[in-house]
C-alpha cells in the first residue's frame, strides 16, 4: 500500500438503506403541505395562522424541553413540525390562536417529552394536544366556520386574548356534516365531502387530497398500508350493516368514510409508527379496533365525532398488542 | 419443466418472504475472468481453516514439500486435512495472525523459486469405484470444506445417515452478498466441473433431484450450467431466483424453491435437503479428476477502494497484502477492509493475514458506501420486522439486548437469528440491531454453558 488509509474497525453490515428517520419525518411533513394549502383555500388566512400557532407551540416546547438528538438540535428531526401541523389540521379555522399554541405545547410536552422523547410515547402527540383542547375549551373547538371564500378576513375568535371570557360569537357558527347527521339526521352530499366544500376542521374537509396522500405514503412505505385499509374497511363494513338494517336511522357507509376526521385520522394519526403496533397481525387488530370504535362512538356516543378517542384508545392498547400478538417465527 | 413453470408462476421468480434489496455493486468484477495469482515467496497455512478441530501437522521445520502434499491430517472426524499449496520448504510451525483476529498455530512454507509449481500428484481411485465410506474419507483427505464462507467440513455434511434420506441436492450459486462475484465466475468458467461434481455427489447421496439455485442477476451462469448439464446428460434443474438478500442463506433458498421451512434448531437434511456451495462441488471434482486437493480457491478482490477489482484463483496461505497488491492495491480513500461481503463480512485491521479456505472475498470500501448514519431512537416503524427473513422482531431484540435482558431475548428467539444484517440495513434510526443481537446470542450461549 502506497497510501496510508485510515481503517475503521466495526461490525457488519456496512451498507445502509437510504431512508433515515429525519428523512421519513420531513417527507411525511411535505405531504401535509397540499392539505394545508387546501385549508387555506377554503378558510383563508385563518388556516395559516392557526397552523403557525400550533407549530410554534410544538417547536418552542421541543426546543426547550426536548432531548438533543444526534443532530444537536431536537427540531431538526422534523417530528415536532409534523406534530404541530397535524394538530392544527384537527382544529376549527376560527380557533383562538393562543389556544392553538397551548395545544402545541401540550402535544409535545405531555404527548412526547414526558414519555422520554421521540419514539417513547404511547399516544399520538397531536391527538394528546387535541384531546387536551377538547377538554379545556369545549366551546371553541366545536365552533365551526363555514368556507365562505374570504381569504384575508380573520374568522371567529382567532385573535381572542388568552383566558378572555367574551360573548360567544355564534352568528357565523354552523354545524359540521357529522353533527347535522347526528342531531338532525341530515346527510351532506358526498361530492361536497370529497372536495371539501363543508365546514369542519382545517384538514378534514378535502377527502380527495387525503386519499391521494394516503396512496403516496403507502407507496413510499412511510405508512403501513394495513392501518388505513383496516380502519376504512371496518368503518365501511360496520356502517354498511347498520345502513342495511335501517337506512333512515343510520348514515350511509360513504358518508361515514368521508365525513369528519376519519380520513385524516386513518392516514396521518393512526399510522404514527410510534404509537401503533409493530407486527402485521397486531396492526390488523389495532386498525379494525379503531374502525369499530369510530362507528360505535359516532352512532351511539354522545359526541358527533369519535376518531380521536378511537385512536387514543387503541394507542393505549398497543403495548399490550405488541406483547401478546407476536409474528410466527420461521421454523416454528 | 422448471420449478417456476410447475408452480404456475411463469414470469415470477421464486423467492422467500421478507429480505432487503441492497445495491449490488457486482458490475465492478462480474465480467472479470478468473485470473491466476502468481506465486509469492511465503505462505502461511493456519491449522484451523474450518469449523471443528484443528488439523494436526505432519511436517517439521526444514522439510521439503511438494504442491498438493498433505502437510496436516484431520484432528478428529469434524476436521479436514491440509495440503501444501506450493513446492517449497517448511520454515516454521508456530503462531501466526489468523483472519479471525487471533494468533493461531500455522505452518509456514517458503516457495521454491526454481520450481515450475506444476501439480504432480498420483492419480486417485475414481469415485465410481469407491464405497460410500471411502468416498467420505476421500473428501476429508482432500481437505474440502464449504467454500461459501462458513468452511464447514464437506465430508461431515455429505455423510448422510440412513434414517435421514436426502430428497434434494441443492447447489447454492445465489451469491446474494453485494460485491462478491467469485461463485458467479466459477459457475461460468467451471460449469463442466460443477456438473461433474454434482454427478459424483448424487451417486452417493441418491437424491431424487438436483437443483442449482442462482440469483437472476447471473443469466450467463444459468445458461452455462444448463448447457453443461445437457452435454453431460445429467438431469439438473437450474433455478433462477429473485435477486434479494439473503437469498443465498440455505433456509431462504429452501423456502424459495420448495416452499418448505426448516424447523427451528434443525438442519436442511432434516427436511431431506443437502445444500452445498457451488465452489465446494467444483473442488470435489478437481480432487478426483485432477488429483488436486483443496490448495487454492477463487476470491473476489473488489470494492471502490481497490484499483483493479478482479476474481483471482489464489493458493491458500497467500498473504492478503500480496493479493491486494496483485489487484493494483488500494486507494487512499479506503476506510474498511472486509473478508466476505458487506452484509456479513468480517472487518480486518490489516492485510497481514493469509487467505484461508473460507475467504470468499476481500472487500475494501470507502466512506461513500459505508454510510455511518446517526442513531436516533427507535420509532417502531416496523421496517426491521419486514426485513427479517426469519420473522423475528429485531426492534424488540435490540432493545432487550441494550437492557441486558438475555432471558427475554431467548424468549424472543434470538438464537434463531443467523445474523444476515437485514435489520440493521433497513433501520432508519441507524440502530445497530444485528450487532446487539450478536452480543445477546453470545451472552445467552455463555450463560447456558455455565
Identify which of A12, A13, A21 has the shortest CB distance to residue B428.
A21
- Per the CB < 8 Å rule, is A7 touching B337? yes
Residue A178 CA: distances (Å) to CA of A188, A204, A229: 9, 12, 22
Identify which of B22, B389, B428 has the shortest CB distance to residue A24.
B428
Give the single-character DSSP code of B374.
P
- The verdict on A73 touching B (C-beta cutoff 8 Å) is no
- Per the CB < 8 Å rule, is A16 touching B424? yes
pLDDT tens for chain A, 332 residues long, are: 445 567 777 788 999 998 899 999 999 999 999 999 998 888 888 899 999 999 999 999 999 988 777 777 778 888 999 999 999 999 998 899 999 999 999 999 999 999 988 888 999 999 999 999 999 998 888 887 777 666 666 766 777 777 765 555 544 556 677 777 777 677 777 777 777 777 788 887 778 899 999 999 999 999 999 999 999 999 999 999 999 998 888 888 988 898 888 999 999 999 999 999 998 999 999 999 999 999 999 988 877 788 999 999 999 999 999 988 888 999 88
Taking contacts as CB-CB distances below 8 angstroms, the residues of chain B near A117 are 377
Q: Give the nearest chain B residue to A79 (CA atoms).
A: B379
Q: Give the nearest chain B residue to A271 (CA atoms).
A: B381
Q: What is the CATH number of domain B3-29+128-290?
A: 3.40.50.11540
Q: For chain B, what are the domain ranges?
A: 3-29+128-290, 383-449
pTM: 0.89
**Angle between the N-to-C axes of helices A79-89 and A125-136, in degrees from 0 to 180, rounded to the nearest 10:** 40
Dihedral of the alpha carbons of B30, B32, B35, B41, in degrees to the nearest 10: -80
- Per the CB < 8 Å rule, is B375 touching A6? no
Q: What is the pLDDT of residue A165?
A: 58
* Beta-strand runs (E) in B349-412: 361-366
Q: Which three cell numbers stand for residue B229?
A: 448439464
- The verdict on A16 touching B (C-beta cutoff 8 Å) is yes
CB count, 10 Å around CB of A246?
8
Q: What is the pLDDT of residue B11?
A: 56
CA nearest to B36, candidates B315, B350, B330: B315
- Per the CB < 8 Å rule, is A12 touching B342? yes
- Residue B360 in contact with residue B300, Cβ under 8 Å? yes
CB count, 10 Å around CB of A269?
27
Taking contacts as CB-CB distances below 8 angstroms, the residues of chain B near A119 are 376-380, 429
- The verdict on A68 touching B (C-beta cutoff 8 Å) is no
- Per the CB < 8 Å rule, is A119 touching B337? no
Exposed/middle/buried for residue B227 (C-beta within 10 Å: 0-12, 13-18, 19+): middle
Q: For chain A, what are the domain ranges?
A: 20-174, 184-323
Q: What is the pLDDT of residue B8?
A: 40
Identify which has the larger pLDDT, B333 or B70.
B70
Q: What is the pLDDT of residue B10?
A: 46
CB count, 10 Å around CB of A189?
12
Please report the ipTM that was assigned to this predicted complex: 0.86
Identify which of A5, A9, A13 has the shortest CB distance to residue B330.
A5
Q: Shortest Cα distance from A291 to chain B (angstroms)?
A: 21
Amino acid at each position: 500500500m502506497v497510501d496510508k488509509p485510515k481503517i475503521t474497525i466495526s461490525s457488519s453490515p456496512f451498507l445502509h438503506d437510504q431512508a433515515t428517520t429525519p428523512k421519513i419525518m420531513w417527507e411525511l411533513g411535505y405531504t401535509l403541505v397540499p392539505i394545508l394549502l387546501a385549508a387555506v383555500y377554503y378558510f383563508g388566512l385563518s388556516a395559516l395562522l392557526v397552523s403557525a400557532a400550533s407549530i410554534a407551540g410544538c417547536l418552542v416546547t421541543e426546543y426547550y424541553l426536548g432531548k438533543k438528538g444526534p443532530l444537536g438540535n431536537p427540531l431538526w428531526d422534523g417530528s415536532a413540525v409534523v406534530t404541530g401541523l397535524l394538530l392544527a389540521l384537527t382544529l376549527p379555522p376560527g380557533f383562538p390562536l393562543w389556544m392553538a399554541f397551548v395545544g402545541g405545547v401540550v402535544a409535545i410536552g405531555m404527548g412526547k417529552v414526558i414519555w422520554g422523547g421521540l419514539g417513547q410515547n404511547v399516544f399520538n402527540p397531536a391527538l394528546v394536544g387535541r384531546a387536551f383542547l377538547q377538554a379545556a375549551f369545549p366551546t371553541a373547538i366545536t365552533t365551526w366556520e363555514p368556507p365562505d371564500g374570504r381569504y384575508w378576513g380573520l374568522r371567529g375568535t382567532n385573535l381572542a386574548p388568552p383566558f378572555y371570557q367574551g360573548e360567544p360569537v355564534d352568528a357565523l357558527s354552523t354545524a359540521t356534516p357529522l353533527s347535522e347527521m347526528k342531531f338532525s339526521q341530515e346527510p351532506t352530499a358526498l361530492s361536497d365531502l370529497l372536495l371539501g366544500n363543508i365546514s369542519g376542521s382545517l384538514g378534514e374537509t378535502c377527502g380527495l387530497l387525503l386519499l391521494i396522500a394516503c396512496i403516496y405514503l403507502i407507496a413510499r412505505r412511510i405508512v403501513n398500508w394495513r392501518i388505513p385499509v383496516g380502519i376504512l374497511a371496518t368503518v365501511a363494513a360496520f356502517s354498511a350493516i347498520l345502513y342495511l338494517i335501517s337506512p333512515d336511522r343510520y348514515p350511509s357507509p360513504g358518508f361515514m368514510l368521508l365525513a369528519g376526521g376519519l380520513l385524516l385520522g386513518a392516514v396521518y394519526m393512526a399510522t404514527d409508527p410510534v404509537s401503533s403496533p409493530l407486527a402485521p397481525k397486531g396492526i390488523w387488530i389495532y386498525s379494525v379496533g379503531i374502525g369499530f370504535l369510530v362507528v360505535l362512538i359516532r352512532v351511539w356516543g354522545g359526541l358527533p365525532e369519535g376518531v380521536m378517542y378511537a385512536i387514543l384508545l387503541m394507542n393505549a392498547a398497543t403495548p399490550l398488542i405488541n406483547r401478546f400478538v407476536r409474528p410466527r417465527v420461521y421454523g416454528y | 419443466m422448471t420449478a417456476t413453470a410447475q408452480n404456475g408462476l411463469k414470469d415470477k421468480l421464486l423467492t422467500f418472504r421478507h429480505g432487503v434489496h441492497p445495491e449490488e455493486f457486482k458490475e465492478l468484477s462480474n465480467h472479470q475472468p478468473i485470473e491466476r495469482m502468481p506465486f509469492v515467496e511465503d505462505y502461511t497455512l493456519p491449522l484451523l481453516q474450518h469449523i471443528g478441530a484443528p488439523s494436526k501437522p505432519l511436517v517439521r521445520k526444514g522439510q521439503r514439500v511438494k504442491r498438493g502434499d498433505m502437510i496436516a491430517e484431520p484432528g478428529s472426524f469434524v476436521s479436514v486435512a491440509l495440503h501444501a499449496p506450493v513446492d517449497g520448504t517448511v520454515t516454521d510451525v508456530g503462531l501466526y495472525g489468523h483472519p479471525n483476529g487471533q494468533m493461531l498455530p500455522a505452518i509456514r512454507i517458503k516457495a521454491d523459486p526454481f520450481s515450475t509449481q506444476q501439480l504432480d500428484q498420483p492419480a486417485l481411485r475414481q469415485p465410481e469405484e469407491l464405497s460410500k465410506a471411502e468416498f467420505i474419507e476421500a473428501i476429508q483427505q482432500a481437505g474440502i470444506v464449504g467454500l461459501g464462507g462458513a468452511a464447514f467440513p464437506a465430508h461431515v455434511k455429505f455423510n448422510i445417515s440412513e434414517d435421514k434420506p436426502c430428497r434434494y441436492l441443492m447447489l447454492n450459486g445465489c451469491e446474494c452478498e453485494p460485491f462478491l462475484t467469485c461463485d458467479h465466475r466459477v459457475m461460468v468458467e467451471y460449469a463442466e466441473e460443477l456438473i461433474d461434481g454434482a454427478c459424483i455427489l448424487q451417486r452417493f447421496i441418491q437424491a431424487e433431484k438436483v437443483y442449482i439455485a442462482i440469483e437472476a442477476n447471473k443469466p450467463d451462469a444459468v445458461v452455462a450450467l444448463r448447457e453443461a448439464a445437457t452435454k453431460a446428460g445429467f438431469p439438473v434443474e437450474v433455478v433462477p431466483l429473485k435477486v434479494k438478500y439473503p437469498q443465498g442463506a440455505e433456509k431462504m433458498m429452501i423456502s424459495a424453491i420448495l416452499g418448505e421451512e426448516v424447523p427451528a434448531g434443525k438442519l436442511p437434511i432434516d427436511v431431506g435437503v443437502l445444500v452445498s456451495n457451488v465452489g465446494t462441488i467444483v473442488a470435489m471434482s478437481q480432487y478426483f479428476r485432477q488429483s488436486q486437493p483443496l490448495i487454492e480457491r477463487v476470491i473476489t478482490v473488489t470494492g471502490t477502494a481497490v484499483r483493479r477489482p478482479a476474481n483471482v484463483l489464489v493458493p491458500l496461505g497467500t498473504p492478503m497484502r500480496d493479493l491486494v497488491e496483485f489487484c493494483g492495491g488500494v486507494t487512499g480513500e479506503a476506510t474498511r477492509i472486509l473478508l466476505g461481503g458487506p452484509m456479513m463480512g468480517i472487518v480486518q485491521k490489516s492485510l497481514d493475514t493469509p487467505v484461508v479456505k473460507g475467504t470468499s472475498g476481500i472487500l475494501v470500501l470507502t466512506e461513500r458506501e459505508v454510510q455511518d448514519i446517526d442513531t436516533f431512537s427507535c420509532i417502531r416503524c416496523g421496517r426491521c420486522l419486514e426485513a427479517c427473513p426469519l420473522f423475528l422482531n429485531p426492534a424488540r431484540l435490540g432493545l432487550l439486548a441494550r437492557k441486558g435482558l438475555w432471558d427475554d431475548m431467548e424468549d424472543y428467539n434470538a438464537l434463531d437469528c443467523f445474523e444476515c444484517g437485514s435489520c440493521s440495513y433497513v433501520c432508519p434510526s441507524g440502530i445497530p440491531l444485528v450487532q446487539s443481537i450478536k452480543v445477546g446470542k453470545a451472552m445467552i450461549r455463555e450463560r447456558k454453558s455455565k
